[in-house]
Amino acid sequence: MPKDDNSTALTNETIELLHNRVSIRKYSDQPVSEEHVEALLRAAFRAPTSSNIQSYSVVVVREKEVLEKLYPVVGNQKHVLNAPVFMAFCADLTRMEHAIVERGGSMDDNPLEIGLVASIDASLLGMAAYLTAESLGLRGLMIGAVRNDATKIAEILNLPKRVYAVFGMVLGWPEEAPQQKPRMDYDMVVHYDQYGNQKGEKGLVAQL
**The pLDDT of residue 206:** 47
All domains of the chain, ordered by start, with CATH?
A: 24-177 (3.40.109.10), 179-208 (no CATH)
Query: How far from 181 is each of 21, 139, 178, 192, 203, CA to CA, in Å?
Result: 9, 16, 9, 26, 20
- Going by pLDDT thresholds of 50, 70 and 90, the confidence category of residue 6 is low
Degrees to nearest 5, angle at CA 106 with 159 and 117: 60
| Bridging pattern class, strands 139-143 and 163-172 | antiparallel
Handedness of CA 116, 96, 166, 190 (dihedral sign): positive
The secondary element (H helix, E strand) that includes residue 167 is strand 163-172
* Distance, C-alpha 70 to centroid of its chain: 17
Answer whether residue 199 shows pLDDT above 80.
Answer: yes
Question: Per-residue confidence at 107, pLDDT binned at 50, 70, 90?
Answer: confident
Alpha-carbon distance of 164 to 129, in angstroms, equals 18
Alpha helices per DSSP H over the chain? 13-19, 34-44, 64-73, 78-81, 94-102, 111-135, 150-157, 186-189, 204-207
**Mean per-residue pLDDT over the chain, rounded:** 89
Is the pLDDT reported for residue 106 higher than 80?
no
**Predicted pLDDT at 164:** 97
Q: pTM of the full predicted structure?
A: 0.87
Task: Check whether 47 has a pLDDT greater than 90.
Answer: yes
Q: What is the pLDDT of residues 138-167, one digit of tens each?
A: 998 999 999 999 999 999 999 999 999 999
In a 10 Å sphere around its CB, with 0-12 CB exposed, 13-18 middle and 19+ buried, how is residue 166 labelled?
Answer: buried
Distance CA 204, CA 201 (A): 8
